[in-house]
Structure 1
Amino acid sequence: MPAKQEPAADNDPPRHRVDRIWSALRERVRHGLQVRAWRLRLFGLLAVQAGVAASIAWFVGYQFLGNPVPVLAPTTAVGIVAASMGTRLRRTVELLVGVILGLAVGDALMSMFGIGPWQTGVVVVLAIIVAVLIKGGGSLLTQAGGTAVLIATLEPPVRELSVPRFVDSAVGGLIGLAVGLLLVPIHPQRTMQRLAEPVLDPTIDALRNLAAALRRRDLGGAEQSLNGLRGLGSRTTALDEGLGAAQEVVRLAPLRWRQRRSLAKYTRAVHHLERSLYGCRAIARRLTKALRDDEPIPDEFVAAIELLATSVQTLRRTSTPERADPREAQGQILTAVELVGKAQGKPAPDPTRPHTHRLGYSGAIAAGEFHTAAHDLLMASGMGADEAGELVRQALDRAGSE
């Protein structure tokens, strides 16, 4: 049966068209609320960290630095807290150093030359040159130049302060780092689970939609599922960055030291899970090509993809400590491997004779990608590489013997 596109519903009655538009609107509203709820759960702690850092920085600036109007200390503290969420410590320190450099160069030159257009340009050039000489990265260069612009255009230095403004800002930045890493650190594993949600949920939906499209031999639906899997690259990058930040928290924050072992286990699972997602994208690409070339796709392969999506959802549930038993997900993965083995067909009794596949060229490649993705998912569930490989081989042998 050749692949087909879904027919356009141009002749729908007006009532059906209104119902469809209303349903799509409700789905968009529901999705928007879910996204905002997810962002609140992910970044809600950021508001607490910023508030605590601003309060402490204001108090220190007023009481100990002799600043009657402590603005830079709490401002820098809040900026550092916001910048450190989901980034590595090195980049956060670069931001702080960039702010301090911009303030120091700006204060030094503005006291001699005053404020003006050419003075602003000179201050920015010198601030960035200093940042380059200390081998700073992009964050340091940006912050040094941006802060120099603010200092050169907002106001002249306040000479009656007991300490320079760059010291005030440095203290605020250090307070922001201390609050984020020591006083109110993020919960590493909980943060990772929330960062994984926008990766795993669309993957599960895309695999299920792919299976439905394959069952209908709907080329457009298969391509849409493939595009959905391809669009997860930026979210996977955010997950990797969050993982790096979580690792630094458990290394530096005494309140999170006891979570080092559990985070290390979770980190390994995330890495293998990401590899399996790349495999899922390869499966979707090959099966979409199989549809386009009108290759056969047995029902067992479609059922295996549905079961693979279910196993990812099961693994997502068992990632919490209270549901840490992965055996259900492992059984689903191995059953899916058996189904793919049945879709491939029985091996030839005589190894010298060609093996007659039930799959075409692209389908056979998709089967190999499926075995690799299943192996990675088994490792994400906590298995070792050798054990996972042996179980996949046994599942294929069972499928070939039936």
Structure 2
Amino acid sequence: MRAVGMLAVQAGLAAGLSWFVADTVLHISQPVFAPISAVVALAASVGQRLRRTVELIVGVSVGVFIGDLLIYFLGTGAWQLGLIVVLAIVVAVVVGGGPALMVQSAATAVLIGTLSPVVENLEFPRFLAALIGGGVSMAVTAVLLPLNPLRVINRAGSPALDLLADQLEVTAGALRRRDAAAAQAALDRLRDNKEEVAAFNEAAQAAREASTLSPVRWESRQGPVGRYARAVEPVDRAMRNSGTLIRRTVTLIEDEEPIPEALPVAVLLLAEATRVLRREFATADEPDEARERALRAVSEAGRAYRAGVGFSGAVVVAQVRTTTSDLLVATGVEQEDANRLVRDSFGPMTRP
């Protein structure tokens, strides 16, 4: 309820305002399509509302055009209505529309095809109502009740970062105990990350939209919200590279390779860096501590490498370096600088 409470209030306000504008201000007769359009635009996932509003207006225009054109040449009836809907959807696809545009085109075509014979001058009020509804929905989300973009992205980004930190932590414990089954369970859970990554990506789009449309949020576009939103791709890479790390951990344990004391410490520090990164993102702090923990993980991985590791152990060490580089990029460090910091923290490559 907390997650959708703001959406409910936004939708109610947009519906009431759009009816007021269409009915009281512009005196459109029975402007039911205005509040419907407002709610449809707001029902789109946050981050897609601007696109949905444009599709709504374009879809109505396409439906009106196709409906009027065919009714003029073919008249009205059941087969004419079916043909109008088919052509409205085809035209919507041709102009590059998504499902929302197709639905709006078809629905408007149905209204034109069925109501035009009994309701005069339906076309322009329908288009105007869609324009009012879409415009009011944007005004509500941008000015009257704007979302907090940092809260939006943090709500969806935290599960992805927690998932990565949790499984790296489990892997560190599995290395200490030589527990291949625990490491395999961590790998299976990390691989099942589509829901968390998708939610993180969608929230990043929502945060960008909220900070772009709302004047009160403009300052956050290049600040904490922008940094958090740009972290989606490197965090996704960190998950994939951590998956390789954990997979080689399973093989390392099963092959009874040596496990230097510093190796599980390195993986644990990587988990801690991820957890600290989530906290610093949520509080809009500069992620200095997360960077420091990540580079300490690389330093410990260097110690483990020089102490002596087997084939799979060397891969685990390499993936600690790679994942650390991903996390540094997620904090806002340029890729080239991240690679240099990792090399410096790792230390000499030669073994005693």
Bin for the TM-score computed over the shorter chain: 0.7 to 0.9
Q: Which residue of 1 aligns with 2:280?
A: 318
User: For residue 365 of structure 1, what is the amino acid of its counterpart?
Assistant: V
State the superposition RMSD in angstroms. Answer: 3.3
For residues 153 and 160 of structure 1, the distance between their equivalents in structure 2, rounded to whole angstroms, comes to 13
More divergent stretch after superposition (300-309 vs 83-92): 83-92
More divergent stretch after superposition (72-81 vs 89-98): 89-98
Q: Which residue of 2 aligns with 1:278?
A: 240
The CA deviation at 1:54 is 0.5
For residues 92 and 26 of structure 2, the distance between their equivalents in structure 1, rounded to whole angstroms, comes to 26
Contact 2:152 2:206 in 1 (8 A): no
Task: Note closer, same or farther for the CA distance 1:330–1:130 as it changes in structure 2 (3 Å cut).
Answer: closer
For residues 162 and 272 of structure 1, the distance between their equivalents in structure 2, rounded to whole angstroms, comes to 49
**For residues 27-38 of structure 1, what are the structure 2 equivalents within 5 Å?**
none
For residues 117 and 304 of structure 2, the distance between their equivalents in structure 1, rounded to whole angstroms, comes to 76
Contact 1:107 1:157 in 2 (8 A): no
Task: Note closer, same or farther for the CA distance 1:157–1:292 as it changes in structure 2 (3 Å cut).
Answer: farther
**For residues 148-159 of structure 1, what are the structure 2 equivalents within 5 Å?**
148=109, 158-159=119-120
The CA deviation at 1:186 is 2.2
The CA deviation at 1:247 is 2.3
2:220 paired residue among 240, 259, 264: 259
User: For residue 381 of structure 1, what is the amino acid of its counterpart?
Assistant: T
Q: Which residue of 2 aligns with 1:340?
A: 301
SS in 2 for 1:261: coil
1:144 aligns with 2:102: no
Contact 1:339 1:399 in 2 (8 A): no
The CA deviation at 1:326 is 3.2
SS in 1 for 2:151: helix
Q: Which residue of 1 aligns with 2:324?
A: 374
1:196 paired residue among 151, 157, 178: 157
1:73 paired residue among 34, 37, 51: 34
For residues 153 and 147 of structure 2, the distance between their equivalents in structure 1, rounded to whole angstroms, comes to 10
1:395 aligns with 2:319: no
Stretches of structure 2 lacking an aligned partner (at least 5 in a row): none
For residues 51 and 341 of structure 1, the distance between their equivalents in structure 2, rounded to whole angstroms, comes to 58
**For residues 232-311 of structure 1, what are the structure 2 equivalents within 5 Å?**
232-262=193-223, 263-311=225-273
For residues 154 and 162 of structure 1, the distance between their equivalents in structure 2, rounded to whole angstroms, comes to 10
Contact 1:341 1:400 in 2 (8 A): no
More divergent stretch after superposition (98-107 vs 47-56): 98-107
How many positions carry a matched residue from both structures?
Answer: 350
For residues 60 and 88 of structure 1, the distance between their equivalents in structure 2, rounded to whole angstroms, comes to 20
Stretches of structure 1 lacking an aligned partner (at least 5 in a row): 1-36, 347-356
Task: Note closer, same or farther for the CA distance 1:151–1:236 as it changes in structure 2 (3 Å cut).
Answer: farther
Q: Which residue of 2 aligns with 1:8?
A: none
Q: Which residue of 2 aligns with 1:217?
A: 178
Contact 2:64 2:123 in 1 (8 A): no
Contact 1:289 1:362 in 2 (8 A): yes
For residues 154 and 236 of structure 1, the distance between their equivalents in structure 2, rounded to whole angstroms, comes to 45
Task: Note closer, same or farther for the CA distance 1:228–1:61 as it changes in structure 2 (3 Å cut).
Answer: same
Task: Note closer, same or farther for the CA distance 1:220–1:367 as it changes in structure 2 (3 Å cut).
Answer: same
For residues 179 and 108 of structure 2, the distance between their equivalents in structure 1, rounded to whole angstroms, comes to 55
Task: Note closer, same or farther for the CA distance 1:284–1:126 as it changes in structure 2 (3 Å cut).
Answer: same
For residues 381 and 102 of structure 1, the distance between their equivalents in structure 2, rounded to whole angstroms, comes to 47
For residues 70 and 140 of structure 2, the distance between their equivalents in structure 1, rounded to whole angstroms, comes to 33
1:364 paired residue among 314, 327, 342: 314
1:39-78 deviation digits (Å, cap 9, x = unpaired): x33x432222211110111112212443453321101101
The CA deviation at 1:371 is 0.2
Task: Note closer, same or farther for the CA distance 1:277–1:150 as it changes in structure 2 (3 Å cut).
Answer: farther
Contact 1:342 1:400 in 2 (8 A): no
For residues 310 and 159 of structure 1, the distance between their equivalents in structure 2, rounded to whole angstroms, comes to 67
Contact 2:270 2:320 in 1 (8 A): no
For residues 233 and 342 of structure 2, the distance between their equivalents in structure 1, rounded to whole angstroms, comes to 20
